[in-house]
Amino acid sequence: MGIRDDRKAATKREIQAATLDLVESLGLEATTVARIAERVGISDRTFFRYFDSKESAIVPGLQKLIDALVAAELAPGSSAAEIFHALLEVCRGHFNLEVRHHEFRRISRLMLQDPKLLMIATRREQELVAALSQSLIERELLDMLQALLLAEMLATTWRVAWQCFAHEELAGLDSKPAELFEQAVLSLAEIASVSLPSGEQTP
């Protein structure tokens, strides 16, 4: 990473930190792009070079995750389970990256305190579901039902791990986000492995 890239990364972190500071002190509605830009010492126009909205500055990691999932190399003819596990590995890497490089704890706590922030994260997750499912369909890897279901499961696993982490943080527990992500994955596998009652078997 060069000097210019270092500077851009530092500015992006400053914008996110300023956004979280303002949301914590003023609330979401009173936090505007103009106030964020003023706090950082940049113009509104510069802000939009880094984020497309204040909401994106609060929950920044999902766009990178969406891009990585859509760009993931998946072998033609792979089963839905193989595709799911390959994309789950992408999620795992980005989840750990989020913990190291973003204000993970602050964001998680804010989401529990302000339901609007959780709604923002949910909307971003729906962007993930739409982009990923569309990519899988266009690449003729899965049909619409499987693509949508797979994308929803990935988004849900991501969100549940975040929410559990936030709850444990508020309870004063020594949480390890990566471990919670793995627990969410294992729980999903356990639930999905339960056989359907005979009257509900698919044809």
The model's pLDDT over 18-76, given as tens digits with 9 standing for 90+, comes to: 999 999 899 888 999 999 999 999 999 999 999 888 887 887 667 788 999 999 999 99
Indicate the CATH number for domain 1-54. Answer: 1.10.10.60
The region that residue 2 occupies, defined by phi over 0 for left and psi between -120 and 50 for alpha, beta otherwise, is beta
Contact 154, 88 (CB under 8 A): yes
Residue 103 — very low, low, confident or very high, per pLDDT cuts 50/70/90?
low
Question: Domain coordinates of the chain in residue numbers?
Answer: 1-54, 59-191
C-alpha–C-alpha distance, residues 87 and 132, integer Å:
10
Q: How far apart are CA 102 and CA 17, in angstroms?
A: 9
Q: Are 16 and 8 in contact (CB under 8 A)?
A: no
pLDDT for 96: 72
pTM for the model:
0.74
- Cα dihedral across residues 195, 197, 202, 203: positive or negative: positive
